[in-house]
Structure 1
C-alpha cells in the first residue's frame, strides 16, 4: 500500500468470516476498487484461522487486493500474507519486518497520537492508522481522533495514513478532504442493508477522481 493521488478503500473483515462470507467478499471486491482487505478475527485457534483465511486470501489475490493480517505476525508469515497490521501492544514494526521481509506491508495503529505515528514511521511502518473518528458498531473506541490529525500528517509525511472508526459514505468526506490516503471500513460495508457490493459501489462513487 502506497500513497496514491486519491483516497482508497481498505476493507476490514467482520468478526465472523465463515459460512457464506467468502461469497460476500467476492461480491464486494467485484463492485469497485479496493486497495486492501484486513483479516481481523479474534479468539480462533491458529489452524482454524488459517483454514478460514485461505479462501479469502485467494479471492483477494484474484482481485489484486492486498491481504493483511491483524495483530498476528506469525499468522501473516504462515499465510505468506501481503502484510500485517499491528496494534500498540502487538509488537515492533522492525521485528515484524525481520520476520516478514522487505516487501511486507506493515501498518501500525496510532490512535490519536502524533508521537506514536512519528515513532511508527521511524521504525519502518508502511502506513499509520488514526482513529476512531466516529462511533463504531464493530469496535469500542478508546481514542477519538479529529480530521486535523490527518491534515497535519499529510502535510509533513510521505507515509500513507489510514482513517478508521465508524466510517460510512455519509461521514467520510471530511476525512477525505483532510488528506486520508485510505478509509478503513467494516460495518458500513458488511452490515449495509443492500449488501456489501452496494456499499463498495457507493464508496467507489465517493472516492473516484
Structure 2
C-alpha cells in the first residue's frame, strides 16, 4: 500500500493549491519492548478502530535477524488485512526478505537509491531527516517516498539527539509534494500544531501502545484530534 498522495494531488500540492494534500493520517511505530503475542493483539485492535492509520513500522533495533523476521511474519498479515503499509525500520535486506511494503532509513542505514534498487519501484522508502532542510532536500532528490522530521517533543521511546519545530513542516509542504512524517513524543494532546503546520502523517508509538484505555481508544482519540485540528 502506498502512503503518498495521488499524482493529481501531488501536482496541485506542488503548485500550492489549498487543501490539495490528503488529510493527515496516523503512522504507527512498534513499542520499544515487544511481546510479540500481546502486540499482535494490540495491533489488530488499533487497526480495527476505524481511524485513518496509513502505515505501521516494525522497529526492532539490536534484535537478531531471525527475531525480526519472526515478528514480521506475525504482524505483516495483520497490516495487509487492514490495507495498512508494513514498513521495516533500518534494514532494506530484511524488508526484502519478509515482503514488507518498504523500509525506513536512518541517516546511517544506507542510500535511498540502493534500497530502491533492492526493493523495487513501488516500495515505500522513508528517510529520517531530523530537523534538517538540507537532509530533506537530499532525500527527496534521491527518490524517497516520504521524509520524516523530529523529534518535536520529548519522548521515552528513543534517545533524542535532534529536535524539530513545526515550521519545517510548513516549509516542506510548500515546496514539495513528497509526504512528510512528524515524529517524536506526539500525543493527542500536542498534535494540533503539527497538523496545522502541514504534517501528512503523525508517527506515534507510546501514545497508542501505553494508552490506559487501550490502543483502539488511543487511535480513535488521536484521529478526533487530527480532524479537529486540520487547517
TM-score (norm 2): 0.88
| RMSD, aligned α-carbons | 1.0
The more displaced of 134-143 and 59-68 is 134-143
User: Partner of 2:93 in structure 1?
Assistant: 74
**In the aligned structure 2, how far is the partner of 1:48 from the partner of 1:145?**
32
The more displaced of 21-30 and 3-12 is 3-12
Contact 1:17/1:52 (CA < 8 Å) preserved in 2? Answer: no
**In the aligned structure 2, how far is the partner of 1:40 from the partner of 1:64?**
19
**In the aligned structure 1, how far is the partner of 2:52 from the partner of 2:181?**
16
Equivalent residue in structure 2 for 1:14, among 15, 31, 34: 31
**In the aligned structure 2, how far is the partner of 1:69 from the partner of 1:17?**
17
Aligned pairs for 1:184-203 within 5 A: 184-203=203-222
Contact 2:181/2:203 (CA < 8 Å) preserved in 1? Answer: yes
The alpha-carbon distance between structure 1 residues 56 and 118, as it changes in their structure 2 partners (threshold 3 A), is same
**In the aligned structure 1, how far is the partner of 2:195 from the partner of 2:44?**
26
Contact 1:136/1:166 (CA < 8 Å) preserved in 2? Answer: yes
The more displaced of 50-59 and 127-136 is 50-59
Contact 1:120/1:128 (CA < 8 Å) preserved in 2? Answer: yes
User: Partner of 1:48 in structure 2?
Assistant: 67
SS at match of 2:56: strand
**CA displacement at 1:28 relative to structure 2:** 0.5
Ranges in structure 1 where 5+ consecutive residues have no aligned partner: none
User: Partner of 1:58 in structure 2?
Assistant: 77
Asked whether 1:25 is paired with 2:27, we answer no
Asked whether 1:118 is paired with 2:137, we answer yes
SS at match of 2:126: strand
SS at match of 1:184: strand
**In the aligned structure 2, how far is the partner of 1:10 from the partner of 1:56?**
15
Equivalent residue in structure 2 for 1:182, among 176, 196, 201: 201
> Once superposed, which parts of structure 1, at least 4 consecutive aligned residues long, lie more than 6 Å away?
none
Contact 2:112/2:125 (CA < 8 Å) preserved in 1? Answer: yes
TM-score (norm 1): 0.97
**CA displacement at 1:46 relative to structure 2:** 1.1
SS at match of 1:20: helix
Aligned pairs for 1:91-110 within 5 A: 91-110=110-129
Aligned residues: 209
